[in-house]
Structure 1
């Protein structure tokens, strides 16, 4: 005898959509969870990459700042030394004519002249060559020789000082701005020409018209040197007061 369980078709048609809805909700929940997981992974990866980029940029900035600080410090040192070298060279060159103008040197006796020459660190042999045969009668001529010797010595020193400033300006070209480099080159050129004129005047026997002609040219160069020294000082002060903020890529 067969028994059949009656099917409640009404309940069946009601439960199937509920099951499907539940399944769809589960699928959506799973998909949402999966997408959230993937998004979180991507977000973490992006955050890590961003952090690495920030660290690299921070390191690069620190390196550039260090390089810049070192460059700026060196630039200050170079400018200070270069200006002082040109200032000393200019002072040496322009001060030579004043040697012997001191009226007291003409009134010094033998011992006073000897002490004076020692104070100039003149070699003992040279001092003795001047004062060894000193007499009241030949004292004026000896003093003339001493002044001539000192003037020629100062010419050599002026030439050496100019050469030192010139060489330093060339060797330090990496730290010079274009304006400072141009002014330094022009200043060095005029100082060199001025020193060459000094060498000619004090080491060669010239006719008076030739001497006066050179002296006139030197006055023009002397004025130009003074203007260039002032320009160099101004340009350096401008750069060092505001900083030289140019980062090379």
Structure 2
């Protein structure tokens, strides 16, 4: 005898949509989970990259700040030294004609002259060349030679100081602004010309008319040197003041 289980077609057709819905819900769930998982991984990757970028920028900023501080410190040092060298050179050059010779030197005896020259740090050989044959009779001529010697010595020192300032401005050019470099070059030029005039006056026998003409030219150069020193000081102060750190834009 054959028995057949009756099929409930109504339930069968109802269960199909439920199965499809269940499967679709599962697919949506796993798809959403997968997408979230991929998004989180991508987010972590971007967070890591952003962190690395921030660290690199922080290091770069610190390095630039250190470089700026080192450059600024060196710039202050260079400007201070350069200005001082130009002041010394100017003082040496312009102070020669008013060289400080003891006004009582012509009343000194041999031992007093010797001590005076030693106080000026004159080389021993030069001192002996002056006082070795000292006599009351030739004392006036010896004093004239001493004064002439001291003036020529000051001219040499002035030329050396001018060259020192010029050389320092050249090899420190990396730290000089364009304005300071231009002023320094012009100042070196005028100081050099002034020292050359001094060398001519004190080392060559000039006619009085030629000496007077050269002295007049030197007065004009002195005025120019004064103006350039003032310009150099002003420009350096401007650059090293708080305004120097402001963004020019």
- Kindly report the root-mean-square deviation, in angstroms, between the aligned alpha carbons of the 2 structures: 1.8
Q: Is the 8 A contact 1:72 1:244 kept in 2?
A: no
What is the CA distance between 1:8 and its match in structure 2? 2.1
Aligned counterparts of 1:106 and 1:239: Cα–Cα separation in 2: 51
Q: Is the 8 A contact 2:238 2:244 kept in 1?
A: no
What is the CA distance between 1:80 and its match in structure 2? 1.2
The one-character-per-residue Cα deviations of 1:81-140 (angstroms, maximum 9, x if unpaired) are: 111111111110011001256423333332222111101111112112212232333322
Which aligned segments of 4 or more residues in structure 1 are displaced greater than 4 angstroms? Answer: 243-247
Please state if 1:35 is matched with 2:35.
yes
Q: Is the 8 A contact 1:100 1:147 kept in 2?
A: no
Aligned counterparts of 1:88 and 1:216: Cα–Cα separation in 2: 23
Residue ranges of structure 1 left out of the alignment (5+ in a row)? none
Structure 1 counterpart of 2:156: 156
Aligned counterparts of 2:49 and 2:197: Cα–Cα separation in 1: 69
Instruction: State TM-score, norm by structure 1.
Output: 0.93
| Structural mapping, 1:104-183, within 5 Å | 104-183=104-183
Q: Is the 8 A contact 1:162 1:191 kept in 2?
A: yes
Aligned counterparts of 2:178 and 2:50: Cα–Cα separation in 1: 40
Q: Is the 8 A contact 1:173 1:181 kept in 2?
A: yes
Q: Count matched residues.
A: 247
Structure 2 counterpart of 1:55: 55
Aligned counterparts of 1:214 and 1:102: Cα–Cα separation in 2: 27
Structure 2 counterpart of 1:208: 208
Instruction: State TM-score, norm by structure 2.
Output: 0.93
Residue ranges of structure 2 left out of the alignment (5+ in a row)? none
The one-character-per-residue Cα deviations of 1:25-50 (angstroms, maximum 9, x if unpaired) are: 11111000000010011111111111
